Structure 1
Amino acid sequence: MMPETRLPALLLLTLTTLLWGCSRQDIYDTAIDWERSSAGLEADRVVVGELDVAYLHNKDAIEGETIVLIHGFGANKENWTRFAGELTDEFNVYAIDLPGHGDSSKELDLGYRLEDQVQYVSRILAALGIDQSHMMGNSMGGAITALYAATFPGQIRSAVLFNPAGIFEYDSELVELVTEGDNPLIPKQPGDFERLLDFALEKRPFAPWPILDVMEEKAIANQEVNEVIFAAIRDSGYEPDFRNTIERIEAPVLVLWGKEDRVINYRNADIFVERIANARKVLLDGVGHAPMIEVPEESAKLFRQFIQSSN
């Protein structure tokens, strides 16, 4: 999604590609490439055993620490582009497409429990030569980040959990809908993707219609694997072992949560802070389930302040 300061350039790009008779996919690819480049990122791939993994990283490596970004359920590496663009001048940033998501492998029988995904991330980082990082995750990615920090404490300098899954002491609108057999996080037909965006985001960034159309097509095409992943993380996320495991986290942890989150109740932040020894929380008014998309500049600023105060 696009920051307001880039809207005129993006609109011009979209109009130009339309006038040249490009397809919606061409417009999507051009816009995504432009957005990555503007953020100082480029796309790459790495093969890890049976996994083919897509990721973004700095176009030009710098002398700085590393940040690893882990997206949420049904999302992908592009969710971090705006946020990453605030940090690539100081950090080497890696945004990974988890297995089953984005442009990475999507085998249905791979195993998608939270513990499985922690191990996949470990193997991916080893293949990329990353032995220490600041790790950040949103939603499902937040739960993975917390478990990773508890499982591999020596590898994590700090952790930032954006509206993390894993603890559901307090119910949300999503829990009520899923209980009734309606899951707005898994688009199945035209119109469902708009509903997903409205449900998950309180502040929707601008994106031209051709881009949203392609995003919806991709989301609908992923319905089957999304159903498998959702069932796996739902089962593992409710286990009481999660709360006990995150007590082993040694790194400083920042829990950032939008108070308008309809996916996971923001009051669950208190449980994370109670269970993690060196954790603090920041609640964001007027923000929904994805602060790094909705308020990327503020989110990056809070991260910088957090690591400065933690040193």
Structure 2
Amino acid sequence: MKLFITLFIIVGALVLIVIILPQLTSKETCTHEETVQKFAKGKFVTVDGKKVHYVEAGDGPPIILIHGFLYHAVMWKKNIDALAGKFKVYAIDLWGWGYSERLGEKEYGFERYGKQIVGFMDALNIKKAALAGQSMGGGISVYVAAHYPEKVDRLILVAPAVIPYPMTTIGKIYQSPFIGEFMNAIPGDALMKNNIRTVWFYDKTKATEEYCKEVLQPHCIKGSYAGMMFILRNVLKEPYVEKEADLLSKMNIPTLIIHGREDLAIPLDRSKRLNELWKGSKLVIFDRAGHSPHEEYPEKFNKLAVEFLS
């Protein structure tokens, strides 16, 4: 009898979700074109037939900044000007994020993103560049360096998604079939904002309402959430780019690894292991910092990055 009741509740909940879900999915209210016209502040280039949005600044040796999951080029807002004093900075929006074009939900992956970065470089005639990537962007940077070493001068990896790590509790909830879609469909951005404040930042007050709004603004573009869920469930799963990490251990690409001691998304010990694997790498730990140490302590990060790249 208890089993029957449990099954009845589960089936009832699923039916309820299926019925209610279509009524709730109202967040994706914008087309790519209208959102770009209203909010995009950078430039566009076409790569493999798809538009790529990027912010460009400065002059000098090139560095490409690659954001992580959930974000876009805005995550480097406090770093671009400082780096642009000595370098040509390109802060890119990966496909599916920010103001770059959306792909079919099953088209996302490290390989596709790696080709996006290389295609971006070719389109702008960038022969070789330093890559700086945060979280998923760090994994993409590693993929590019391993498969296209002639394209990469140096690496800056911020809390990189390279060595497998346990998914956070909220991440596991979002990965669950139906439940993830249901949570995404709940009106408003309160859940996402709370996630940003509690996971990406140690000091929650730094993730202001204005900041969160700017991060989440492009999520209104149709196709954003389907791509996000596919990446969360299929791309950000083991073994990530461990194979590429092994390849890079045999190469000689100078690498700076930066990690927040209080990072709740990717444990610090993953970057420690990566540092041990790559004998030529340097690990710098930011105390009282979460998953985005370059945003929490921009002056410290900018100084380290400029010194490392110079």
TM-score tier by shorter-chain length is 0.7 to 0.9
Residue number in structure 2 paired with 1:51: 50
2:301 to 295, 299, 302: 299
Which residue identity does 1:193 align to in structure 2?
M
Tell me: CA distance 1:66–1:213, structure 2 relative to 1, closer, same or farther (3 Å).
closer
Tell me: CA distance 1:176–1:73, structure 2 relative to 1, closer, same or farther (3 Å).
closer
1:97 to 93, 96, 99: 93
Give the CA deviation at 1:255.
0.6
Give the CA deviation at 1:220.
6.2
> Is the aligned partner of 1:203 residue 2:198?
no
TM alignment of 1:73-112, pairs within 5 A: 73-109=69-105, 111-112=107-108
TM-score when normalising by structure 2: 0.76
Give the CA deviation at 1:207.
6.8
Kept in 1, the 8 Å contact 2:43–2:54? The answer is yes
TM alignment of 1:137-156, pairs within 5 A: 137-156=133-152
Distance 1:188 1:179 in 2: 12
| Paired residue secondary structure (2:79) | helix
| Paired residue secondary structure (1:46) | strand
Residue number in structure 1 paired with 2:166: 171
Distance 1:304 1:275 in 2: 24
> Is the aligned partner of 1:219 residue 2:219?
yes
Kept in 2, the 8 Å contact 1:172–1:262? The answer is no
Kept in 2, the 8 Å contact 1:68–1:136? The answer is yes
Residue number in structure 1 paired with 2:16: none
Residue number in structure 2 paired with 1:16: none
Give the CA deviation at 1:110.
5.8
Give the CA deviation at 1:171.
3.4
Residue number in structure 2 paired with 1:287: 289
Which residue identity does 1:225 align to in structure 2?
G
Single out whichever of 298-307 and 202-211 deviates more from structure 2.
202-211
| Paired residue secondary structure (1:86) | helix
Tell me: CA distance 1:56–1:239, structure 2 relative to 1, closer, same or farther (3 Å).
closer
Q: CA-to-partner distance for each residue in 1:97-128, whole Å, 9 max, x for gaps?
A: 01111111112246222122111111111101
TM-score when normalising by structure 1: 0.76
Residue number in structure 1 paired with 2:230: 228
Give the CA deviation at 1:240.
4.7
Distance 2:230 2:167 in 1: 21
Identical aligned residues as a percent: 24
Distance 1:217 1:305 in 2: 33
2:61 to 65, 69, 82: 65
Extract structure 1 runs of 4+ deviating beyond 6 A: none
Kept in 2, the 8 Å contact 1:137–1:143? The answer is yes
Give the CA deviation at 1:274.
2.1
Q: Structure 2: give runs of 5+ residues left out of the alignment.
A: 1-34
Residue number in structure 1 paired with 2:255: 253
Tell me: CA distance 1:239–1:88, structure 2 relative to 1, closer, same or farther (3 Å).
closer
Kept in 2, the 8 Å contact 1:174–1:262? The answer is no
Distance 2:273 2:256 in 1: 13
Instruction: Tell me how large the CA RMSD over aligned residues is.
Output: 3.1
Distance 1:237 1:152 in 2: 20
> Is the aligned partner of 1:129 residue 2:117?
no
Tell me: CA distance 1:257–1:150, structure 2 relative to 1, closer, same or farther (3 Å).
same
Distance 1:235 1:297 in 2: 33
Tell me: CA distance 1:231–1:135, structure 2 relative to 1, closer, same or farther (3 Å).
same
Kept in 2, the 8 Å contact 1:188–1:223? The answer is no
Distance 1:242 1:102 in 2: 26
Tell me: CA distance 1:284–1:174, structure 2 relative to 1, closer, same or farther (3 Å).
farther
Kept in 2, the 8 Å contact 1:258–1:284? The answer is yes
Give the CA deviation at 1:174.
4.7
Residue number in structure 2 paired with 1:274: 276
The structure that has the greater radius of gyration is 2
Give the CA deviation at 1:173.
3.6
| Paired residue secondary structure (2:94) | coil
Q: Structure 1: give runs of 5+ residues left out of the alignment.
A: 1-27, 34-41
Q: CA-to-partner distance for each residue in 1:194-229, whole Å, 9 max, x for gaps?
A: 212122211346576466446445436522210012
Distance 1:212 1:147 in 2: 29
